Amino acid sequence: MDFKELLAYKKAFDLSMKIFELSKSFPKEEKYSLTDQVRRSSRSVCANIAEAYRKRRYPKHFISKLTDSDGENSETNTWLDFALACKYISDNDHNNFSNQSKEIGKLINYMINNPGKFGVEIN
């Protein structure tokens, strides 16, 4: 199986693209701060899942990269909180994105807690 088939990856990629589209409407003065940060962290969730999957031969590396992914997911949620507080996104968008982020976090944590189900050999 390819990492792109993982449900956590698919959902994280989808959320990242939604954030990208919505962040196009952020003010220009946020280009190198909030806009860049929320895009970077949301994309990093996917990238770390991909890296974890490729490192599944090494259980500690697999879990470490997934832990990084979970951290980036939490960072993304924090930037979304700032976007809401600055009134760049609606309550509805914030709630939808936050709920998606929580679901992604649960999927990542499932992978962390069940590495054997993802091809990791536990000794």
* Residue 1 banded pLDDT, cuts 50, 70, 90: confident
CA distance 12 to 7: 8
Mean pLDDT of the chain: 96
Domain 3-114 listed as CATH 1.20.1440.60: yes
CA distance 19 to 120: 31
Annotated domain spans of the chain: 3-114
3-state SS of 36-47 is HHHHHHHHHHHH
- In DSSP notation, 52-93 reads HHHTTTSHHHHHHHHHHHHHHHHHHHHHHHHHHHTTSS-HHH
pLDDT digits (tens, 9 = 90+) for 52-73: 999 999 999 999 999 999 999 9
* Residue 32 banded pLDDT, cuts 50, 70, 90: confident
State both tokens at 97.
């994105």
